[in-house]
Structure 1
């Protein structure tokens, strides 16, 4: 049924609003389930780190913003090819699609390798720059270095998964990402802790362990990424009916690279804007103490399960809008945009209620420190109010990317993050501590969502006319 509906985009067949919502939902569900599973595994991951102590959690939380920035830049590079791929598939240009896959994977690998080596070289200095103290900076440097050296695996895995999603295959990338999370937990259990004996009922079980602490967290993630990347490339290059590798003369790579650069540069700037703002946000939180830093890190993990529906719908929206653009169906692209935005906001409104009610339980699953649980509960309940408009910001960004417009999201994020969140967080942190910082985040997410919806409504038709 999904394939029939998706194929109607290229065939020029009509869609009712029911068809639009059904296809958006069908493509969203695998991504949503995978993201929720991913976050649940992150919960387990974070709880393992919490067993080491608040200092370990704080050391990882200190450099999380930096890893988001590095990963986000690689994401932008791969999206320059993924957007072109969705357009090519929508237009029925299969040779061009396969060319984009092969050239895009190589470009992402080379770029991420260079960025990873540079980041690893700076890993000894960044924790101190971020305001970390000597007791957590060493672990933070180790975590960042291992992450950076594994960056090519993460980047190629993301690129391959995004290319499968652009073709309409949401199920396989979702299942493989679930597998990656399960492997991450397994590897972490083996690498973080020392060898130990567990007693389950009348049974005694001996488990080997590497006793690597924070380094084991990073290494476990890299090993899981390597396994997932191998499987993702196998499906993309061997099993995909349209995109699989075959002996044929590919189209010239220079034109594809130029277009990927044109699309990617605004997204790189966007990731720099967002990532540097996250770094600044961490520097605002760091002086508030280890408890605040740990609560901030755990609350970000806890909150992430609530915006997974928005990210799942956003992935579907980018594919559907992108293929509609490639098929030269501007009105259909516009309708898919509206359907996706409405669906995602409805889901995240519900998740906001869940987060507000279940905040104490969510934090208790991540930390055994009473002070961290109390602080995390308070800031999660502040953030819950922003969830519907947070969805709007996420999904509208994907709608514009699917249409090949990557500059507008950069402008919106620049205004929201550096014009609202950071100045307001600096001001409120002085009198209200961590609660004030997260109040600033809530205000900024609401403002970004309203701005995004305004642009979609007032400038969206102009955007779609450009692709008619």
Structure 2
């Protein structure tokens, strides 16, 4: 059905819905399994106590920051590839992918150097206690070496997705989750005796705790990144480099176009994740229980909003190819259908999160104080999920159309002017619950802003 977009075929509403679902389901599964990887990390480390959990929670926003910069660099090239594929110009799509690997790997090495230089100062800057600073530094340092492999994984997966291949990236995301569990099982815990069906089994282990969790995640990224690159470069029916008949020529225009698309996203991610770091600094004085509950709450909530990100990836592919094929009718239709679907799915997930909040937090930590606080903040956040979906999917619609500047300003303005201001004002009186109330208010406001932006620009044919 993707070929219908490129070839100018007429699509019924049911065909559009079917195409959205076909592209969304593998992506949703991939997003959920990726979050499960972090969920399992948190649960395994959380079983060691509040301090190891707080150590990871302290620097986790910084790992997201550098990971999101990698995503921005990749997106600048994958959006161009989607437009060329929509226009049936596969040769240029492959040229863009080659530029993406060369530029992206260079960029990722710069990020790696920065992370290594700041690793042992970061926990101090974030206000972490002396009891968790060393573990936090080691987690961040080891995790940093995953950045180049994360770039390969993200760029390869995004290129395959915009070409219409959602299956391979999704399967590899599931494999990454499974490998992470296996690696963590041996790296985090010491050698111990397990009782299974009455039998005692000696299980070897390294006992590296927080550092073991980071190493397990690093190896999982490496194990998935290389096969994904192989599929994109050698096996894809559209993107395989062997299909090129002319010699590769470097064109700075592709890099410049990627910078124009990716730079606003990178700035947005930088400031958005910077805001997350500021939020962590607001939470840090509340103590290790609050830091751990905050981290676990974010991990648990991500299981609910990852379906929205899965639908958003489908939106980027469909809108990107529609724009490339100059199909404005499909562009508008896919935009609204994906936004409404995302809101419906995440409204349902919000209900699930509200009902099962105690169980979701209970799987991550045995500490009663953390469980009680984590349950209350998840139930506050549940009410914002539909509007969060609107912000996620509408932003991806804009990305697919190559419009990243103004949507980035919406994200930044909402985060810095609404969330942080309100969180700072409420934290001293209401603690972590006040911080999460501010988050729920801001996400609802941001979702409404994106709905208005999308409505106005689609109506005026500016998007």
TM-score (normalizing by structure 1): 0.97
Match of 1:140 among 125, 136, 139: 136
Q: 1:382 aligns with which of 369, 380, 383?
A: 380
Match of 1:278 in 2: 276
For residue 455 of structure 1, the aligned residue among 431, 453, 456 is: 453
Aligned residues: 461
1:331, CA displacement in angstroms? 2.0
1:308 is paired with a residue whose SS is helix
For 2:146 and 2:41, the matched residues in 1 are separated by 18
In 2, are the aligned partners of 1:95 and 1:250 still within 8 Å (CA)? Answer: no
User: For 2:357 and 2:235, how far apart are their aligned partners in 1?
Assistant: 42
Give the counterpart of 1:242 among 238, 241, 249: 238
| Structure 2 unaligned regions, length at least 5 | none
Alignment correspondent of 1:50: 46
Once the 2 structures are TM-superposed, how far is the Cα of residue 231 of structure 1 from its aligned partner? 1.2
Q: 1:384-406, CA deviations, whole angstroms, 9 ceiling, x for partnerless residues?
A: 00000000000011000000001
Which of 315, 329, 338 is 1:317 aligned to?
A: 315
User: In the alignment, which of 436, 439, 444 is matched to residue 438 of structure 1?
Assistant: 436
1:239 CA drift (Å): 1.0
1:63: how far off? 0.5
In 1: Cα distance, 2:421 partner to 2:263 partner: 26
Local SS of the residue matching 1:61: helix
Counterpart check, 1:9 vs 2:5: yes
1:37-63 alpha-carbon deviations (Å, 9 max, x no partner): 233333222111012211011000000
Query: d(CA) in 1 for partners of 2:273 and 2:37?
Result: 24
2:287 matched residue in structure 1: 289
Residue from 78, 101, 116 that aligns with 1:105 = 101
Deviation at 1:330, TM superposition (A): 1.5
Matches within 5 A, 1:242-261: 242-246=238-242, 248-261=246-259
Could you tell me which of 205, 208, 212 is aligned with 2:208?
Answer: 212
Partner of 2:328: 330
Alpha-carbon separation, structure 2, partners of 1:231 and 1:105: 15
Superposition RMSD on alpha carbons, in Å?
1.1
Distance 1:46 1:172 in 2: 27
Q: What's the counterpart of residue 356 of structure 1? A: 354
Contact 2:152 / 2:226 at 8 angstroms: preserved in 1?
Answer: no
Asked if residue 118 in structure 1 is aligned to residue 145 in structure 2, the reply is no
Quote how far apart the aligned CAs of 1:204 are.
2.7
Once the two structures are TM-superposed, the CA of residue 245 in structure 1 deviates from its matched residue by 2.1
How far apart are the structure 1 equivalents of 2:78 and 2:26? Answer: 19
Query: Which residue in the other structure is 2:162 paired with?
Result: 166
| TM superposition score normalised by structure 2 | 0.98
Deviation string 1:132-157 (CA, Å, 9 cap, x unpaired) is: 11100111111111111221011211
* SS of the residue 1:306 aligns to: helix
8 Å Cα contact 2:176-2:223 kept in structure 1: yes
Query: Partner residue of 2:261?
Result: 263
CA offsets, 1:271-318, max 9 Å, x none? Answer: 112111000010011111111110000011110110121111000000
**Cα distance in 2, alignment partners of residues 73 and 38 from structure 1:** 18
Q: Which moved more, 1:30-39 or 1:436-445?
A: 30-39
User: Is residue 63 of structure 2 the alignment partner of residue 67 of structure 1?
Assistant: yes
336, 339, 346: which one aligns with 2:337 = 339
In 1, Cα distance between the equivalents of 2:23 and 2:434?
38
Question: How many Å separate the matches in 1 of 2:37 and 2:97?
Answer: 30
Cα distance, 1:32–1:372 mapped onto 2, change above 3 Å: same
Q: CA 1:191–1:327 in 2, change beyond 3 Å: closer, same or farther?
A: same
Secondary structure of the structure 1 residue equivalent to 2:403:
coil
Q: Distance in 2 between matches of 1:53 and 1:113?
A: 34
Q: How does 1:220-239 map to 2 (within 5 A)?
A: 220-239=216-235
- 3-state SS in 2 of match to 1:307: helix
| C-alpha separation in 1, matches of 2:146 and 2:318 | 32
SS in 2 for 1:196: strand
Secondary structure at the counterpart of residue 205 of structure 1? strand
Deviation of the 1:251 alpha carbon: 4.3
2:416 — aligned with what?
A: 418
Q: Are 1:184 and 2:180 matched, yes or no?
A: yes
SS of structure 1 residue aligned to 2:344: helix
Cα distance in 1 between the residues matched to 2:32 and 2:65: 22
Aligned to 1:154: 150
For 2:60 and 2:462, the matched residues in 1 are separated by 40
Match of 2:299 in 1: 301
Deviation at 1:195, TM superposition (A): 1.5
* 1:444 Cα deviation after fit: 0.2
Kindly state the Cα deviation for residue 65 of structure 1 after the two structures are TM-superposed.
1.0
Following TM superposition, by how much is the alpha carbon of 1:197 offset from its aligned partner in structure 2, in angstroms? 2.1
Q: Which moved more, 1:356-365 or 1:17-26?
A: 17-26
3-state SS of 2:304 partner: coil
Given that 1:237 and 1:243 are in contact with CA atoms closer than 8 Å, whether structure 2 keeps it comes out as yes
- C-alpha displacement at 1:203, in angstroms? 2.6
Question: How far apart, CA to CA, are the structure 2 residues paired with 1:108 and 1:185?
Answer: 28
